[in-house]
Amino acid sequence: MTSMTMVQALNAGLRRALEDDPKVLLMGEDIGPLGGVFRVTDGLQKDFGEDRVIDTPLAESGIVGTAVGLAMRGYRPVLEIQFDGFVYPAFDQIVTMVAKHHYRSGGITRMPIVIRIPYGGGIGAVEHHSESPEAYFAHTPGLRVLTPADAGQAYVTIQQAIASDDPVIYFEPKRRYWDRAEVDDVAPISGSPWSSRLVRAGDDVTLVAYGPMVRTCREAAEAAAEDGVSCSVIDLRSLSPLDLGPVVDDVRRTGRCVVVHEAPVVLGLGAEVASVVTEQCFFHLEAPVRRVGGAYIPYPPNRFERHYLPDVDRVLEAIDEVTAT
């Protein structure tokens, strides 16, 4: 086991994928000598060359369009979008080509493309640099969507995403880039990333989160325990496909559910989780499912983001509401 930040874990995972498969290519803006805006690809071009770690022009639509052609010729492109808000120029290519080409070709052509997107707020940036657009992509058939919560998950799931024959939108929670965790960088990669995982067991309330909010929910669970409320924490991890079986099983036991994400609550992924839990756990619920998330406004200037982002206090408030009945 090695202690790593999420940036270091992603770098190590990309390095291992490049070593294991000569068809893996990295593409993106400033990912070569600079190592990317967040230094995730630091040192990789020096070690693997400009033919495999490719600095591209500032044109997201061109990056993704080129990757489609490479994938059709048997390569596995891994693309870096510098910030969440920069993915929109490539939206046409992603939803009309990347997501649909396997279906359109009758299953003949695969699209083994990974699109890495740093997402979410909490770093003192502005809109276009702090957004959470995951619902757009989770709502698009043909795409898989993953988001790791910590360095250990990042190291494993980035390699599993690259190995997938389906296109994967890989959301990296940038506010957790510098959080440290223990990473098993020796054992063979195993297990499926397309499943939710129990992070903490509890008896009274089920907290459901993904990406940057998993740590927030763990901290809220620890605070609630001091007041005698025992909370489970479940990391969805895979946003498409959604694995809600463990969530349903846990809610049937606790009788209460709180769903947390940074994205706006209105029509966010929490709505899907809440509806499934309500449908399948209706006679087990002791209180309505509570959602905690961002406001339905563009991401605010950094001096106001602490009022926008869910924090431990807002999660605790939701826990109080569902346990008051």
Cross-strand bridge partners of residue 285: none
pLDDT tens figures, 284-307: 999 999 999 999 999 999 889 989
By C-alpha distance, which of 281, 261, 282 is closest to 271? 261
Check pLDDT > 80 for residue 69: yes
Instruction: Quote the pTM value.
Output: 0.96
For position 193, what pLDDT does the model report?
A: 95
2-183 matches 197-323 in fold: yes
Measured from the Cβ of residue 191, the count of other Cβ atoms closer than 10 Å reads: 10
Q: How far apart are CA 235 and CA 233, in angstroms?
A: 7
Check pLDDT > 90 for residue 126: no
For position 286, what pLDDT does the model report?
A: 96
For position 179, what pLDDT does the model report?
A: 96
Q: How far apart are CA 130 and CA 236, in angstroms?
A: 21
Residue 200, exposed/middle/buried by CB under 10 A (0-12, 13-18, 19+)?
middle
For position 70, what pLDDT does the model report?
A: 97
Q: How far apart are CA 82 and CA 96, in angstroms?
A: 22
Check pLDDT > 80 for residue 325: no
State the pairing for strand pair 231-235/197-200. Answer: antiparallel
Tokens 């997501």, residue located: 99
Low-confidence winner among 133-142, 176-185, 186-195, 197-206 (lowest mean pLDDT): 186-195
| Class in CATH terms, 2-183 | alpha beta
> For this structure, is 284 an active site residue?
no
Check pLDDT > 80 for residue 4: yes
Check pLDDT > 90 for residue 187: no
For position 194, what pLDDT does the model report?
A: 96
Q: How far apart are CA 151 and CA 217, in angstroms?
A: 17
- With the CA atoms of 55, 15, 87 and 292 taken in that order, what torsion angle do they form, in degrees rounded to the nearest 10? -150
Give me the phi and psi of 197, to 5 degrees please: -140, 140
Measured from the Cβ of residue 203, the count of other Cβ atoms closer than 10 Å reads: 13
3-state DSSP call for residue 118?
A: strand
Q: How far apart are CA 143 and CA 94, in angstroms?
A: 9
Q: How far apart are CA 71 and CA 107, in angstroms?
A: 14
Q: Where are the domains of the chain?
A: 2-183, 197-323
Low-confidence winner among 91-100, 126-135, 250-259 (lowest mean pLDDT): 126-135
Give percent of the chain above pLDDT 70.
Answer: 100
Set 101, 102, 128, 129: catalytic member: 129
pLDDT tens figures, 14-31: 999 999 999 999 999 999
Q: What distances in angstroms separate CA 278 from CA 144, 242, 263, one per listed residue?
A: 25, 16, 21
What average pLDDT does the chain have? 96
Average pLDDT estimate for 1-22: 96
Average pLDDT estimate for 274-285: 97
Tokens 């995972």, residue located: 13
Tokens 């090695």, residue located: 2
Check pLDDT > 90 for residue 188: no
Amino acid occupying residue 325: T
DSSP code of residue 242: B
Q: How far apart are CA 234 and CA 243, in angstroms?
A: 11
Q: How far apart are CA 45 and CA 157, in angstroms?
A: 22
Average pLDDT estimate for 262-291: 97
Question: How many CA atoms within 13 Å lie on the side-chain side of 280?
Answer: 17
Cross-strand bridge partners of residue 80: 28, 116
CATH of domain 197-323: 3.40.50.920
How does 55-88 read in b/e, with b if 16+ C-beta sit within 10 Å? bbeeebeebbebbbebbeeebbbbbbbbbbbbbb
Check pLDDT > 80 for residue 116: yes
